[in-house]
């Protein structure tokens, strides 16, 4: 076994591995090829080879240096598991994260064997994220409630209304660390990340001049990914989250989207109910693991 840094020539093998390991993978060469060209001390990307074939990868990041929040992922092709490849990659990642000051590290696991692997390395289950899917071409729903206007992000000068709403409902989200407010530019850089947002499929609901609900949508090929949906406190229980999601799904179908995916914490029962009423069905459950040091 050879462990080495990833190189651009690995791109096709990395995409194939991701699709083999992640049940809801949306990996494409464009997405997997977004690692920065210049070395970043906060990021580690490793590959493992067996007989010249890439069979595993590992990523480790310091996502929030101020709070020492990091993340790690290890993926090994099913036929190569149990041979110590994942352990070798994780040992390198663990040392890297410790060296750059990560004290709160998260990992997402999809299988019981992966959970056991994480638990043996000091991780504990923190919560569950549900991945649900839907065909946006089947979307239907009632018009927005009286007095509510829906606008796409592409109709606005920028996405500041979405940021304002994120600040309003963000503290209510079930996160592994308390919600941290970010200035607009930093927030946008994080939200409009590896998979870019499509402003035509991001919708905000206004009650008069006040933004009261929103949904953010990223797009890759013919798939649309809901990356954030929420309603301002004091304006809930009016089906506003459902209204913005219907608008996004309808617009996505018109742009040729054939699959919609959404991620929700299992405790966020309100948005799960809204999604199910639209026709979303559970695809996968992810266990979020956390290690504190």
SS3 25: coil
Partners of 43 in the β-ladder: 61
Residue range 241-266: mean pLDDT, rounded: 95
Q: Based on the fold, state whether residues 141 and 280 are members of the same structural domain.
A: yes
Is residue 28 a contact partner of residue 220, using CB atoms and an 8 Å limit?
A: yes
Going by C-alpha positions, the residue among 5, 27, 4 that lies closest to residue 221 is: 27
CATH number of the domain at 18, please: 3.40.630.30
Q: Mark which of 122, 154, 176 sits at the end of a domain.
A: 122
Assess whether 57 and 199 both reside in one domain: no
CA 107 to mean position of chain CA atoms: 12
Reported as a single tens digit per residue, the pLDDT across 110-155 is 888 899 999 999 999 999 999 999 999 999 887 889 999 999 999 9
Instruction: Using alpha carbons only, give the angle 139, 145, 147 rounded to the nearest 5 degrees.
Output: 140
pTM over 0.75: yes
Q: What is the pLDDT of residue 92?
A: 97
CA–CA separation, 44 and 58 (whole Å): 8
Nearest-angstrom CA–CA distance, 93 and 113: 19
* pLDDT of amino acid 293: 86
Residues of the domain holding 245:
133-287
């Amino acid at each position: 076994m050879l462990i080495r840094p990833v190189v651009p020539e690995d791109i096709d093998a990395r995409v194939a591995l991701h699709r083999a390991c992640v049940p809801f993978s949306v990996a494409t060469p464009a997405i997997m090829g977004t690692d920065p060209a210049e070395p970043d001390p906060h990021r580690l990307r490793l590959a493992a080879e067996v007989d010249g074939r890439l069979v595993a990868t590992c990523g480790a990041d310091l996502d929030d240096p101020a709070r020492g929040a990091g993340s790690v992922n290890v993926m090994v092709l099913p036929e190569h598991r149990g041979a110590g490849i994942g352990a070798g990659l994780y040992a390198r990642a663990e040392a890297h994260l410790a060296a750059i000051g990560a004290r709160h590290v998260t990992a997402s696991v999809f299988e019981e064997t992966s959970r056991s692997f994480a638990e043996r390395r000091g991780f504990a289950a923190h919560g569950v994220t549900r991945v649900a899917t839907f065909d946006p071409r089947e979307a239907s729903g009632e018009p927005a409630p009286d007095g509510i206007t829906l606008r796409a992000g592409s109709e606005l000068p920028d996405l500041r209304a979405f940021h304002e709403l994120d600040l309003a409902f963000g503290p209510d989200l079930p996160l592994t660390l308390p919600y941290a407010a970010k200035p607009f530019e930093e927030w946008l850089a994080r939200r409009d990340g590896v998979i870019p947002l499509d402003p035509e499929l991001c919708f905000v609901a206004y009650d008069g001049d006040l933004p009261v609900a929103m949904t953010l949508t990223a797009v890759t090929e013919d798939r649309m990914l809901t990356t954030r949906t929420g309603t301002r406190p004091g304006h809930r229980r009016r089906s506003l989250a459902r209204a913005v999601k219907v608008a996004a799904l309808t617009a996505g179908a018109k742009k040729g989207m054939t699959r919609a995916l959404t991620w929700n914490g299992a405790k966020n029962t309100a948005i799960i109910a809204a999604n199910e009423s639209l026709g979303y069905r559970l695809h996968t459950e992810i266990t979020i693991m956390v290690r504190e040091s």
